[in-house]
Amino acid sequence: MKIKSAEFVMSNSDVEKCPKSRLPEYAFIGRSNVGKSSLINMLTGRKSLAKTSGRPGKTQLINHFLINKNWHLVDLPGYGYARVSKSSKKTFQKFITQYFALREQLVSAFVLVDIRHNPQPIDLEFMQWLGENGIPFSIIFTKADKLKPKAIENHIEAYKNVLLETWEDMPNYFVTSSSKTIGKDEVLEYIDSLNANMDWTAL
């Protein structure tokens, strides 16, 4: 898929106020600092569509971007940032939970995971929660330029082993690097194929 246009639509913390249009949407989420803003900028080919985090954990908002005038890319807040207070963690959980519960336009989530780390409980718990709630997702491994191919393989294997303890199949996954532009076409083609298979009457 070629990105012809990418526009910021709105930011808010209330799913009821998200765009009313029935365009299919794809939500990107992961731990703070995982490389989410950089990935969104790589996918859209825009240098600063998503703000790369000066201070992680600060932008606790649902950000909608309209891509090619026919689908929404959603930048969800990063989770698991230590400096966020308990009360704002609760608020965060509430509106994210509501986003996933209420947003019928969501086709798939993308859970971002730093390829350098061993499987982290917070990411695994989040994926478990998505699974239990019937929300389709893929994993996007980020920062692949930081590891050699063999190490990438080992880290993916470690993830597979942990996930296959509770899941029948390994979720769909992508290996990406925003610095080296790796995985861009694969992610965009995947979104394109989901858009093409959409039953528009179901929305």
Q: Report the chain's C-alpha Rg in angstroms.
A: 16
At its nearest, how many Å lie between ligand GDP and the CB of residue 188? 16
Q: How far is residue 112's CA from residue 156's CA, in Å, rounded to a whole number?
A: 13
Sign of CA dihedral 47, 41, 55, 145: negative
Tokens of 136: 């389709």
Footprint on residues 64-83 left by ligand GDP (CB under 6 A): 78
Contact of 141 with 173, CB cutoff 8 Å: yes
Give 133's Cβ-side CA count (13 Å radius): 18
Footprint on residues 134-193 left by ligand GDP (CB under 6 A): 142-143, 145-146, 177-179
User: Is 145 or 192 the residue whose CB approaches ligand GDP more closely?
Assistant: 145
Stretch binding ligand GDP (CB under 6 A), from 26-34, 61-69, 122-130, 161-169: 26-34
User: Is 18 or 78 the residue whose CB approaches ligand GDP more closely?
Assistant: 78
At its nearest, how many Å lie between ligand GDP and the CB of residue 84? 13
Footprint on residues 27-56 left by ligand GDP (CB under 6 A): 32-38, 52-53, 56
User: Is 44 or 53 the residue whose CB approaches ligand GDP more closely?
Assistant: 53
For the chain, the residue count is: 203
Q: How far is residue 105's CA from residue 123's CA, in Å, rounded to a whole number?
A: 23
Which burial class, exposed, middle or buried, applies to 113 when counting CB atoms under 10 A from its CB (0-12, 13-18, 19+)?
buried
The count of residues interacting with ligand GDP (CB under 6 A) is 18
User: Is 32 or 60 the residue whose CB approaches ligand GDP more closely?
Assistant: 32
Interface positions with ligand GDP (CB under 6 A): 32-38, 52-53, 56, 78, 142-143, 145-146, 177-179
